[in-house]
Amino acid sequence: MNVSAFIPIKKFSSSKNRLANIITSPEREVLAASMAKKTIDTLHNSKICNSITVVTNDKSLQLDYSTSYFTNSSLNDGLNEAIYAQTTNDIILIMHADLPKINEPDLHELAHSFDIKKVSIISDLSMQGTNCLMFNSAISFDLKFGLNSYNLFMHEFKNNRLNYQDISIESLQDDLDSEEDYFKLIKYINS
């Protein structure tokens, strides 16, 4: 099974603006860089994927164990461009980089629960956003990342009669989107 991972990462200098009331711009930049590095390193060390591509609007972004795909397109369009630019995709894994609790055993759980006939979706803890998608590249649907993406994906799957599985893995659901998340996840952020 050839798994290609795609990680959308915007410029670190413009990341995590929702935390502006509690940490400075340079601190947010360091935080975003640290989480991205941890996500890429953990994915690499888990050995569940054959390639890792960072989809970014930062021409200078280079992270170990990954290649960078530069785009000025929107999140969903940029991901589609990067996916179509690679020709060796059997299984696509799209994962956000702001998952402070990410770990290798849970990535293995995701890989082992994957069913090639279904789209695997992992929401955030509030079931509003989508932190992870894993699917056979032969399955066609529109990407819906962004505000309220989880419900938009559910609608997309049902409208297109796609089989999907909703997977609950806390470390892949617990993302960093708010001040509350920051204080809840601080011990993972600093490790």
Local structure of residue 20 (DSSP, 8 states): T
Where b means 16+ CB within 10 Å and e means fewer, 147-161 reads: eebbebbbebbeeee
Global pTM? 0.92
**What is the rounded CA–CA span in Å between residue 102 and residue 182?**
15
Q: What is the pLDDT of residues 59-105, one digit of tens each?
A: 999 999 999 999 999 999 999 999 999 877 699 999 999 898 999 99
Q: Cβ neighbours of residue 179 under 8 Å, at least 6 residues apart? A: 18, 19, 21, 22
Is CATH 3.90.550.10 what the domain over 3-189 is classified as, yes or no? Answer: yes
Domain boundaries, the chain: 3-189
- The distance in angstroms from the start CA to the end CA of the chain is 32
* 49, amino acid identity: C
